[in-house]
């Protein structure tokens, strides 16, 4: 059965956009289960916003060497946090 182009509606702007047969094949190859919810323009805008948004950083002390560093997540008490160098050493082990 041949895949045909489909028309979808963007959940962001409400405009209709084409989900081409080649895009559908690409999605299938990548194992994506869902159709795109946003038109290409809204996807691009969302991607730009994500890339330019400033991340909140948290000050921590490295559990190995004790140096001060920053991490992009709120650390929990039950797990150690490492500076970049110590983290790389742990990854290599």
- Whether 65 and 87 map to the same domain: the answer is yes
- Whether 47 and 62 map to the same domain: the answer is no
- Whether 65 and 88 map to the same domain: the answer is yes
- The total domain count for the chain is 2
pLDDT at 1 over 70: no
Domain assignment of residue 73, yes or no: yes
Domain that holds residue 64: 58-92
Q: What is the pLDDT of residues 37-78, one digit of tens each?
A: 999 999 999 988 887 767 788 999 999 999 999 988 889 888
Q: What is the pLDDT of residues 5-17, one digit of tens each?
A: 999 999 999 999 9
- The dihedral of CA 34, 45, 41, 44: what is its sign? negative
Q: Determine the pLDDT at residue 53.
A: 66
- Helix/strand/coil (H, E, C) string of 32-56? CCCCCCCCHHHHHHHHHHHHHCCCC
- Whether 63 and 48 map to the same domain: the answer is no
Q: Determine the pLDDT at residue 67.
A: 94
């Amino acid at each position: 059965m041949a895949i045909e182009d489909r028309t979808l509606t963007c959940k962001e702007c409400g405009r209709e956009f084409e989900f081409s047969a080649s895009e559908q094949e690409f999605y299938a190859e990548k194992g994506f289960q869902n159709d795109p919810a946003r038109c290409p323009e809204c996807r691009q805008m969302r991607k730009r916003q994500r890339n330019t948004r400033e991340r909140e950083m948290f000050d921590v002390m490295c559990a190995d060497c004790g140096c001060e560093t920053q991490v992009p997540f709120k650390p929990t008490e039950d797990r150690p946090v490492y500076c970049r160098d110590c983290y790389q050493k742990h990854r290599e082990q």
